[in-house]
Amino acid sequence: MAGLNGDPILGIDDKIENLQYNNNNNSNEAIDKEGLVGIGEESSTCYKNNQGGEKDMAGNSIHRSGSRPQLDLSKAEIQGNSEERDPTILLPNQSDDISHLALDIGGSLIKLVYFSRHEDQSVEDKRKKTVKERLGITNGNRRSYPVLGGRLHFVKFETSKLNECLDFISSKQLHCGRIDSHLWNSEPPANENAVIKATGGGAYKFADLFKERLGVSIEKEDEMDCLVAGANFLLKAIRHEAFTHMEGHKEFVQIDHNDLFPYLLVNVGSGVSIIKVDGDGKFQRVSGTNVGGGTYWGLGRLLTKCNSFDELLELSQRGDNRTIDMLVGDIYGGMDYSKIGLSASTIASSFGKAISDKKELEDYRPEDISLSLLRMISYNIGQISYLNALRFGLKRIFFGGFFIRGHAYTMDTISFAVQFWSKGEAQAMFLRHEGFLGALGAFMSYQKHGLDDLMVHHLVERFPMGAPYTGGRIHGPPLGDLNEKISWMEKFVQKGTEITAPVPMAPPGTTGLGGFEVPSSRGATLRSDASALNIGVLHLVPTLEVFPLLANPKMYEPNTIDLSDHKELEYWFTVLSEHSPDLVDKAVASEGGTDDAKRRGDAFARAFSAHLARLMEEPAAYGKLGLANLLELREECLREFQFHDAYRSIKQRENEASLAVLPDLLLELDHMDEEARLLTLIEGVLAANIFDWGSRACVDLYHKGTIIEIYRMSRNKMQRPWRVDDFDLFKERMLGSDGKKPKPHKRALLFVDNSGADVVLGMLPLARELLRRGTEVVLVANSLPALNDVTAMELPDIVAEAAKHCDVLRRAAEAGGLLVDAMTNTEDGSKGNSSSVPLMVVENGCGSPCIDLRQVSSELAAAAKCADLVILEGMGRSLHTNFNARFKCEALKLAMVKNQRLAEKLIQGKIYDCVCRYEPAPAS
């Protein structure tokens, strides 16, 4: 390569000589390697009209309790522009004492949904103020009320342990109706009139106890109303909520919000309710059956002497129902009854063999009895549901309720029945939050906290981080503060127990043949406590938006690597596990290496490995799992244990080193002609992407040489053609052909990646080139630290340093409001050079090495509106995610592949190969 290949760049060696990662000089060759009542008997049909009023079948009004406390709307005013979408509504007379806790108190479980408000940690720094002014964002589309940023938590307790639940509510002061988390530590406020919404039989049964213990009144909400409200909310607002389950295979179904109604909701509790849902608050209980979960558990207990529902389910796993059920083959001498499409293994009569067997109850294995019962009840529910779907011409049936509890075999059996009877016309679907439908619905009944308006992109589901977690079970409620978390971890370690998820049980030897056909996932993924884990914590971030430049947001899938392939999951699991000790070292060092930091580091390592193990066991536990989620999990977990920036000092060191050589690089670039310069700039971005502390291969390299040695080697390896090389196309767009000068881009969004050389010697010079051509440049950086990625908070200082050496950058930074101090210092107070195109920095809304463009910050969304070029840089942002993303404008994806397996898989290349993918704007 011309220009920087040889010596000029060597001239800067001496300036950063001391900035070695390690004093080993043998570096030169290194780069070449590498969640009922027995409703069935209840028959009242309730139809709620559009206005929210309810009538029974005779048309009588049903009392629906008013919601207290309510919002004080007096003196309410819209802040900012009332024309604007979702303006902020100021409620000056409203205190925050709105209860944000709701319960579903069932016969066996208490489900609790509560909301905790984020402590607003966002700092309105100078950069944000200026960016907001420049982009015309008045409040970032943030509705400070009624929807508040915070977290929605899902917790459950056994009803027999009601006292634990009351202690939990009390310890978190959830009954006080306060939403400010910091108040949890202060004196509980008076709550004489406090009301908690609750549904389920226990809302009646235990109302006095709640008053006695917590001083709160229980306001009962209708169970059906709640189920439907909860289901509608989930289906509209939660990504990957619904899934099908056939032959052990779980597949998420994306429901189109505009095409959700009508559907059939089958709630399988003790009894079964079948509800036709036509819209929000519009539903009818069209049928039900008294043969439900209570029947399975009741009969099962009598017949097997089991002590719990879970035990009974576990027994079924090892059962063989052929010993009890009468099969078609038993009647037809082992033959199929093919004329009417029944195979020999079809159950002709559940428990039918028991009539002819001359055996007593003791002669049957409890395992076989349990399986036979489970199949009988599941098939029956599936069949009745299908018949009701047929009655109303419905294709979609959602199953929920305590009987399902994420049990693979139950779901398979129900699915099979629906499919068999409908001949594939109707589809059985299940809900990840199925256990929490009622509680969520009760929560929704608090009038106007605005949750019903939330959209998928406002909710980020995260792994339940803080709960004591062992053996694949979450033990009790989530832990509140850090000390609780750590001390739990320590206690756990003292007990000498390993924190690992349970090893999935081996499929039983007997096959249990004898269904319509044989559901193949039988027991293989049975978890005694499955429903407790299938959900995360929902982070409500009302400011998030869909990136406006996505060509097709509905089809957009951020992840390139599909982790539903188990081999792939295993590989990345190993990569992340092996990286963990090094990460812990860095994290502990970043906090001064104190004993407290060490304890936290230890706790982090255990919590992270437990989460990884859990996901290995059930990858779809929290919805569809991609590599980006795993990488984000790691960062979230670090933050959970209060490691806010593990690579802080490394980033500083690399920034300093790179800023020291920047002037020489700029000088060199300025001596090149346009074409050579553009090539050198792109090479520079690709080469500097090698400074990646998340890649094992790269970290190994850093132990072998200085920053500059590595940088130089990397540049020397930049021979074209790169493995993906669209440079010529990009060049033509930038410089033109046949003497024709193309119009410069109006605004370019540069998604920057790592600190140090990556941003300073790679992306900033490229930004400078664009600025020079009259293109506005927006540097898009992370909101929170992740590995050694540069953040939007850090970037203005880096730009300011660089601007000291470069007029183009200085003028643009001034025009973009980045050099605020510099501007206020100018004598006439003029806002920089008005003729310069601005350079801005905006945050992307994430804290991960990857980016999911369905959920970005409002400032990025605003900045994107008039952009015509998107440049994504780095492996996380342009390969792990967004490699296949299509935009409404031109896009350039630049990265060095620093992982052999990814190189092979994605670009049929090898480690350190480069990607320069240019995609012109689609024809409009």
**Which is nearer to Mn ion, 378 or 714 (by Cβ)?**
714
CA distance 373 to 316: 9
Instruction: Figure out which of the listed residues 114, 876, 889, 909 binds ligand PAZ, where binding follows CB under 6 A.
Output: 876
Site for Mn ion (CB under 5 A): how many residues? Answer: 5
- Closest approach of Mn ion to the CB of residue 34, in Å: 19
Strands (E), 564-660: none
Three-state SS for 551-589 is: CCCCCCCCECCECCCHHHHHHHHHHHHHHHHHHHHHHHH
CA distance 173 to 378: 41
Instruction: Figure out which of the listed residues 446, 600, 899, 907 binds ligand PAZ, where binding follows CB under 6 A.
Output: 899
H/E run at residue 400: strand 396-400
Residue 914, contacted partner among Mn ion, ligand PAZ, none, CB below 5-8 A by kind? none
Does the footprint of ligand PAZ cover residue 694 (CB under 6 A)? Answer: yes
CA distance 523 to 508: 8
Does the footprint of ligand PAZ cover residue 695 (CB under 6 A)? Answer: yes
Beta strands 242-246; 427-431: pairing state: antiparallel
For the chain, the maximum distance between any two Cα atoms, rounded to a whole number of angstroms, is 105
Does the footprint of ligand PAZ cover residue 689 (CB under 6 A)? Answer: yes
Instruction: Figure out which of the listed residues 39, 637, 875, 892 binds ligand PAZ, where binding follows CB under 6 A.
Output: 875
Instruction: Figure out which of the listed residues 753, 843, 852, 873 binds Mn ion, where binding follows CB under 5 A.
Output: 753
Does the footprint of ligand PAZ cover residue 754 (CB under 6 A)? Answer: yes
Would you state the structure tokens that stand for residue 761, as one six-digit string?
Answer: 């010697």
Does the footprint of ligand PAZ cover residue 724 (CB under 6 A)? Answer: no
Residue 149, contacted partner among ligand PAZ, Mn ion, none, CB below 5-8 A by kind? none
Would you state the structure tokens that stand for residue 39, as one six-digit string?
Answer: 């409703």
CB–CB of 848/632 below 8 Å?
Answer: yes
Does the footprint of ligand PAZ cover residue 692 (CB under 6 A)? Answer: yes
**Which is nearer to Mn ion, 289 or 754 (by Cβ)?**
754
Does the footprint of Mn ion cover residue 314 (CB under 5 A)? Answer: no
Would you state the structure tokens that stand for residue 869, as one six-digit string?
Answer: 């070029």
Q: How far is CA 811 from CA 203, 399, 529, in A?
A: 66, 61, 61
Does the footprint of Mn ion cover residue 754 (CB under 5 A)? Answer: yes
Does the footprint of Mn ion cover residue 881 (CB under 5 A)? Answer: no
Q: Nearest CA to 435 among 471, 399, 467, 461?
A: 399
**Which is nearer to ligand PAZ, 478 or 874 (by Cβ)?**
874
**Which is nearer to ligand PAZ, 255 or 906 (by Cβ)?**
906
Binding mask 543-582 for ligand PAZ (x = CB under 6 A): --------------------------------x-------
Backbone angles phi, psi at 470, to 5 degrees: -145, 155
CA distance 549 to 888: 5
- Closest approach of ligand PAZ to the CB of residue 578, in Å: 8
Residues between 696 and 715 that touch ligand PAZ (CB under 6 A): 696-697
Q: 745-775 b/e with 16+ CB inside 10 Å = b?
A: bebbbbbbbbbbbbbbbbbbbbbbbbbebeb
Three-state SS for 492-530 is: HHHCCCCCCCCCCCCCCCCCCCCCCCCCCCCCCCCCCCH
Backbone angles phi, psi at 765, to 5 degrees: -60, -35
- Closest approach of ligand PAZ to the CB of residue 12, in Å: 23
- Closest approach of ligand PAZ to the CB of residue 552, in Å: 24
CA distance 629 to 239: 14
Residue 134, contacted partner among Mn ion, ligand PAZ, none, CB below 5-8 A by kind? none
Query: Which listed range, 52-60, 173-181, 283-291, 695-703, lies at the site for ligand PAZ (CB under 6 A)?
Result: 695-703
Binding mask 774-793 for ligand PAZ (x = CB under 6 A): -------------x------
Does the footprint of ligand PAZ cover residue 848 (CB under 6 A)? Answer: no
Query: Which listed range, 446-454, 522-530, 546-554, 869-877, lies at the site for ligand PAZ (CB under 6 A)?
Result: 869-877
Does the footprint of Mn ion cover residue 789 (CB under 5 A)? Answer: yes
Tell me which amino acid residue 121 is: Q
Residue 558, contacted partner among Mn ion, ligand PAZ, none, CB below 5-8 A by kind? none
Helix then strand then coil, in percent of the chain rounded to 5, is 40, 15, 40
Q: Nearest CA to 499 among 599, 636, 607, 621?
A: 607
Does the footprint of ligand PAZ cover residue 874 (CB under 6 A)? Answer: yes
The residue whose Cβ lies closest to ligand PAZ is 694
CB–CB of 441/229 below 8 Å?
Answer: yes
**Which is nearer to Mn ion, 379 or 693 (by Cβ)?**
693
**How large is the angle between the packed helices 648-670 and 764-772, nearest 10 degrees?**
40
Residue 575, contacted partner among ligand PAZ, Mn ion, none, CB below 5-8 A by kind? ligand PAZ
**Which is nearer to ligand PAZ, 581 or 774 (by Cβ)?**
581
Residue 696, contacted partner among Mn ion, ligand PAZ, none, CB below 5-8 A by kind? ligand PAZ
**Which is nearer to ligand PAZ, 417 or 685 (by Cβ)?**
685
- Return residues touching Mn ion (CB under 5 A): 753-754, 789, 849, 874
- Return residues touching ligand PAZ (CB under 6 A): 575, 631, 689, 692, 694-697, 753-754, 787, 849, 874-877, 880, 895, 898-899
